Amino acid sequence: MKRVAIFISGGGSNMVSLVDSMTGDHPARPVLVLANSADAGGLVKAAERNIATAVVDHRPFNGDREAFQAALQAELVKAAPDILCLAGFMRVLTASFVQKWQGRMLNIHPSLLPKYRGLHTHARALEAGDALHGCTVHEVTPELDDGPILGQATVPVRPGDTPDTLAARVLVQEHRLYPAVLHRFATGKREMIRLQG
Ligand code: GRF
């Protein structure tokens, strides 16, 4: 049975879809939900599901990423996960941390990578006039939003879409894609899967 830690920054809807999928004969179980802010709404949802939680607030570190990451690592050593899932975690992790977890750390990104690394992916897809958009689960490497792709889900861009309506349509697919990829990853499967929304 694989042990899974999940990092969040906000509401944690992806975390909830991962946690709720890890039941029955699933090859993994959640052991920690960590947030970089005590205000992250996902912490309450994790506690309601009896998952251990932790907060490592980045602000007191005043931009000292290595010190912030050392505090993250200390929580991970305590929880001893096999897999680390970034789920709406909005802090950029540096190479020194990523290399410790390389091959065992996943991230979900709301675009069809390699298109639109970084922020504001839905607005950029609309500006570009894309017909298709979506989300990607990838292994995390030191390069932001760049690692090997494990899964993608596509959605149509509809006339009149705004960044918010597009984000809502993509989020539904995120909640399907991430659990599907995690289940495979926990049994060593790394071939890319594609879902259509
Ligand atoms: C998701 O769209 C995710 O792809 C992005 O941030 C959003 C977080 O949503 N990185 P939630 O906190 O999982 O609800």
Q: Whose CA is nearest to atom 8 of ligand 1?
A: 88
**Contact between residue 45 and residue 16 where contact means Cβ atoms under 8 Å apart:** yes
Expressed in angstroms and rounded, the spacing between residue 98 Cα and the centre of ligand 1 is 20
Alpha helices in the chain (DSSP H): 13-21, 42-48, 65-79, 95-101, 121-127, 163-185
Q: Which atom of ligand 1 is nearest to the CA of 109?
A: 4
**What atom of ligand 1 comes closest to residue 15's alpha carbon?**
13
Q: Please tell me the residue having the least CA distance from ligand 1 atom 14.
A: 13
Other Cβ atoms closer than 10 A to 138: 22
Which residue in 26, 58, 109, 120 is the catalytic one?
A: 109
Alpha-carbon torsion angle 116, 86, 8, 181, nearest 10: 100
Q: Find the length of the chain.
A: 197
- The pTM (predicted TM-score) of the whole model is 0.97
Name the closest-CA residue to atom 6, ligand 1.
88
Burial degree of 1 (CB within 10 A; 0-12, 13-18, 19+): exposed
Q: Which of 108, 117, 124 to mutate to test the pocket of ligand 1 (most atoms within 8 A of CB)?
A: 108
So what's the pLDDT on residue 110?
A: 98
Q: Residue written as tokens 């490592």?
A: 56
Per-residue pLDDT of the chain (197 residues; tens, 9 = 90+): 999 999 999 999 999 999 999 999 999 999 999 999 999 999 999 999 999 999 999 999 999 999 999 999 999 999 999 999 999 999 999 999 999 999 999 999 999 999 999 999 999 999 999 999 999 999 999 999 999 999 999 999 999 999 999 999 999 999 999 999 999 999 999 999 999 88
Q: Verify whether residue 109 is a known catalytic residue.
A: yes
CA 105–ligand 1 middle distance (angstroms): 16
